[in-house]
Amino acid sequence: MSRGWGVVSGFTSKRGPAGLEASERARFEAAVEPLLPRLHRFCLALCHSRQEAEDLLQDALVRAYLRRGDVHSGPSLAWLCGIARNQFLEHRRSVARRRSLLDSVLEGTTTALGSLFAGGVEQPDPEARLGASEEVERLWWCLRQLPEKFRLVVLLCDVEELGHEEAARVLGLPVGTVKSRHSRGRARLGALFAATPGRHADAVSEGGRP
């Protein structure tokens, strides 16, 4: 892709210099562009709300951009997903360190802070809402009911259609583990999907099971 992702991105930016930085950025955007939808779905599978997934995607991309020199052959899906997953785990650990369970319980009396820190300042994206069909939301809801170890493998193998070897590379797992988790995760997902005929859009957009 030669254009930037947004009106202030790439060469049209008023903030960034129009020289080397802008062309570096454009090169990075072009290299990541084909992988962006997959990385976005990976973040959606990791997180329990769209807002959280968008924050994660942004953080992961910025980190990847700043570390683009680490990969001489250009960014790969495995590299990007690894960064996103590390960011996710790092964030989860830091949140756990900062908050005690008691804080969480007392915080249950209000959602004001929670929605702010979950990105609730922004209005929900109308385009995303329109695009998300009931069928997709139902599938996301079912996916999020799976334990993470099954969820990510099912996402990579059944949604992204990666082979077991490639999924193993993305997740940093042995191929045998991926095969086993794929089989068990798919069985669980199939049973959940069959047993869940209703509408679950709210559960997906507001966060599913913790």
Partner 1 sequence: MSDHDEVRPPLSQEMRSALGVLREEKPSARLRARLGEALVRADDGRACARAAGDVAPGPWRLLLAYPSALALAGLVLGAGLVLLSPPGAAGTRDAEPVPAREVAFRRSGAGERWLELPWSHAVHSGEPATVWLETSPPLDFRPHLTGLPSLALVNCDAARCVHAFTARTGDAATPLRVRIERPGRYELRLSHVSEVRHVQERFVVVVD
Least distance between partner 1 and beta carbon 140 (Å): 7
Q: According to CB under 8 A, which residues from 112 to 151 bind partner 1? A: 112-113, 116-119, 121, 125, 127-128, 131-133, 135-136, 138-140
Residues that contact partner 1, how many (by CB under 8 A): 79
Give yes or no for residue 23 binding partner 1 (CB under 8 A).
Answer: no
Choices 28-36, 76-84, 145-153, 201-209 (CB under 8 A): range interacting with partner 1: 28-36
Query: 171 with 79: CB under 8 angstroms?
Result: no
Cβ count within 10 A of residue 47: 22
Report CA-CA distances (Å) from 32 to 29, 129, 162.
Answer: 5, 24, 18
What single DSSP character describes residue 123? P
Per-residue binding string, partner 1, 158-197, x by CB under 8 A, is: xxxx--------------xx-xx-xxx-xx-xx--xx---
Q: Which residues contact 169 (CB under 8 A, 6 or more apart)?
A: 78
Q: Is 176 exposed, middle or buried (0-12, 13-18, 19+ CB in 10 A)?
A: exposed
Q: According to CB under 8 A, which residues from 35 to 64 bind partner 1? A: 36-37, 40-41, 44, 54-59, 61-63
